[in-house]
Amino acid sequence: MYFDHLGFSAARIGELLAIPMLMRCLAPNLWGWLGDASGRRLAIVRLGALCTLGSFALIFVGKSYAWLVLVMALHAFFWHAVLPQFEVITLAHLREQSARYSQLRLWGSIGFIAAVVGLGQLFEWLGLGVFPRVIVLIMGGIVLGSFWVPNAQPESRAGLEVQGGFLSQLRRPGVLAFYACVALMQLSHGPYYTFLSIHLETLGYGRGLIGQLWALGVLAEILLFLAMAGLLRRFSLRRLLMASFLLAALRWLLLGNLADHLPALLLAQMMHAATFGCFHASAIHFVQRSFGVRQQGQGQALYATLSGVGGALGALYSGYCWTSLGPARTFALASLAALAAAIIIATRSREEGP
């Protein structure tokens, strides 16, 4: 919405939002390898947070398309140093209680709700021109928070360490299929993350209500995170991932065709519990189970990378299709991508016990 406020076309918005996703193809693997090799993951998190803040602050220098390309690329390169390494640190703190990951991750969701509700109302009052200043304040808070976090190192898992290095573990049955599904899932989210707010505003929803609708999705995600430990005990990761993909396919059809009906829109937003919450938590656990201690950073980095590839392609195709094909057909393509992921995980991955 900020880029739309600056006057950019749908195609240019898609290109700008694809840049951070594309940067996830390079940055997480570099930082992941560095974290595994050095073991100094928390130092990488702190450096990444500082450089992210400095890079994003360049947005105050200019607002031209070329300058914004530079800002998006620089800040994304350092931002993607932070999250994969932080996932490893989090799971290292939890150790044998990894099922509690979701109970920690939900605090990010609470922060997201505070942001979309509060900023939605703020933009109603002050306009979208204040967006960069607000983001800089939030990034400054992330920098401060990173210096309060205690360090932790993952424990060795003998059963995986004997299976060779990262590439050997990557070739284990079902692992490559999982990563293909990660890319397809993020591809399917392209229209949602790039154009949902614009889509809803076009349908007549106010910015304050749009913020509340985003918050509803994340509230559903929080409730899922609270229940995730129980779901992991009852169902295999394969079944949880399949359910996430199938519900994503349905969700995009609802948003593309029935978003002007509030009950359908509310239902679609509540499905965020599956399409992000269940998928992300299951994916983090899958990566942890699939790689040894010296490959954890690279495994999480590859997850971020494939998410970036899918997200970048999703932002690009939705940007190019939004005007020519319209919202319904653009979301229909997203639904097909999620359905393809469900088919792959059903046919190419192994069933594991809960």
In this predicted model, what pLDDT tens digit does every residue of 56-68 receive, in sequence order? 999 999 999 999 9
From residue 107, alpha-carbon distances to 72, 104, 110, 139 in Å are: 26, 6, 5, 16
Mean pLDDT of all residues in 97-105: 78
Domains of the chain, residue spans: 1-146, 167-353
The structure tokens listed for 272 are: 């965020």
Q: Which amino acid is at 102?
A: S
End-to-end CA separation in angstroms for the chain:
41
Report how far residue 87's alpha carbon sits from residue 2's, in angstroms, rounded to the nearest whole number. 29
The CA angle 107-110-115, to the nearest 5 degrees, is 130
What is the reported pTM? 0.73
Superfamily grouping for domain 167-353: MFS general substrate transporter like domains (1.20.1250.20)
- For residue 352, pLDDT over 70 is answered with no
pLDDT digits (tens, 9 = 90+) for 86-100: 878 888 888 777 777
Q: How confident is the model at residue 172 (pLDDT cuts 50, 70, 90)?
A: confident
* Helix boundaries (H) for the chain: 2-5, 10-23, 27-38, 41-56, 65-79, 83-94, 101-126, 131-146, 158-161, 166-170, 175-188, 190-202, 207-234, 237-258, 262-270, 272, 279-290, 296-325, 327-348
Same fold, 1-146 and 167-353: yes
Q: How confident is the model at residue 354 (pLDDT cuts 50, 70, 90)?
A: very low
* Helix boundaries (H) for 26-130: 27-38, 41-56, 65-79, 83-94, 101-126
pLDDT digits (tens, 9 = 90+) for 298-342: 787 788 788 878 888 898 899 889 989 999 999 999 999 999 999
Instruction: Determine the pLDDT at residue 301.
Output: 77
Report how far residue 298's alpha carbon sits from residue 113's, in angstroms, rounded to the nearest whole number. 30
Instruction: Determine the pLDDT at residue 162.
Output: 46
Closest CA to 276 of 244, 306, 252: 244
Q: Average pLDDT, whole number, for the chain?
A: 86
Phi-psi region of 144 (alpha: psi -120 to 50; beta: other; left: phi over 0): alpha
Report how far residue 340's alpha carbon sits from residue 147's, in angstroms, rounded to the nearest whole number. 42
Mean pLDDT of all residues in 271-294: 87
Instruction: Determine the pLDDT at residue 196.
Output: 93
When mean pLDDT is compared over 1-10, 203-212, 261-270, the highest value belongs to 261-270
Decide yes or no: CATH 2.40.390.10 for domain 1-146.
no
Instruction: Determine the pLDDT at residue 81.
Output: 76
Are 153 and 296 contacting, i.e. CB atoms less than 8 angstroms apart? no
Report how far residue 266's alpha carbon sits from residue 120's, in angstroms, rounded to the nearest whole number. 17
Are 265 and 251 contacting, i.e. CB atoms less than 8 angstroms apart? no
- For residue 351, pLDDT over 70 is answered with no
Q: How confident is the model at residue 353 (pLDDT cuts 50, 70, 90)?
A: very low
Report how far residue 292's alpha carbon sits from residue 278's, in angstroms, rounded to the nearest whole number. 23
The one-character DSSP state at 277 is I
Q: How confident is the model at residue 157 (pLDDT cuts 50, 70, 90)?
A: low
